[in-house]
Structure 1
Amino acid sequence: MLLDTVATHLVGPIRETGALVEHLKDKEDAVIAYTSSVLGFVPMAVTAVSSATKAAIHSYALSGGLL
C-alpha cells in the first residue's frame, strides 16, 4: 500500500511530466497542472503517506526545475 500510494500520487505525475515536457515546450499556450489535496497542507495522521505525497507533488510543481 505504501509504495502504491507513492507511485500513484508522486512518481506517476513526475514521470508523466518528464515524458511530455519537451513536447509541451514547443506549444505557445501549454500548461502543466497538477491536482492535489488540502491534505498536503493540513496533514492527518490517518492518511500520513497520502498527505506526504500530496505535499511533495506541490513542492515539485513549485520548484520549476522541470523547465
Structure 2
Amino acid sequence: MNVAPLERRLLRVPEVMALLGLSRWQVYNLIRSGELESVKVGRSRRVPVAALDEFVAQLREEAA
C-alpha cells in the first residue's frame, strides 16, 4: 500500500532562509521581533508553514 508522506508543518531556519531569500540574522531578527512566529522544539527554532504564509501575506498587504 502506497501512502503519501505527510506535508511538513514546521520548517527549520535554513529552510526559511532559502524560501525567503534572507540571511540567518534577518530570519532570527524577524522571530525576535514577533513578525515571524516560531516554536521551540528541543533546543532549536521551527517556523510553522502557516506562519510563513501569514508573514508573506502581511508583506503583500503592506506593499499594496
Q: Which has the higher strand share?
A: 2
TM-score exceeds 0.5:
no
Q: Which has the higher helix share?
A: 1
TM-score, normalised to structure 1, is 0.29
Higher relative contact order (CA 8 A, sep 6+): 1
